[in-house]
Amino acid sequence: MDEPEYSAIVNLGPLRAFVESRLRSGAYGSLEQLIHAALLALEREETAADEVVKQLVDGALPPPKLRTNKGETIHEVRSFRFRSEDRDF
Instruction: Name which of 14, 75, 8, 77 is nearest 49 in CA terms.
Output: 77
Distance CA 67, CA 40 (A): 31
- For the chain, give every domain's residue range: 13-85
The string of pLDDT tens digits covering residues 53-77 is 887 777 776 776 666 666 666 667 6
pLDDT band at 45 (very low <50, low <70, confident <90, very high): very high
Share of the chain above pLDDT 90, in %: 44
Q: What is the 3-state secondary structure (H, E, C) of 53-76?
A: HHHHHHCCCCCCCCCCCHHHHHHH
Q: Tell me the helices (H) and strands (E) count for the chain, helix number first.
A: 3, 0
Share of the chain above pLDDT 70, in %: 67
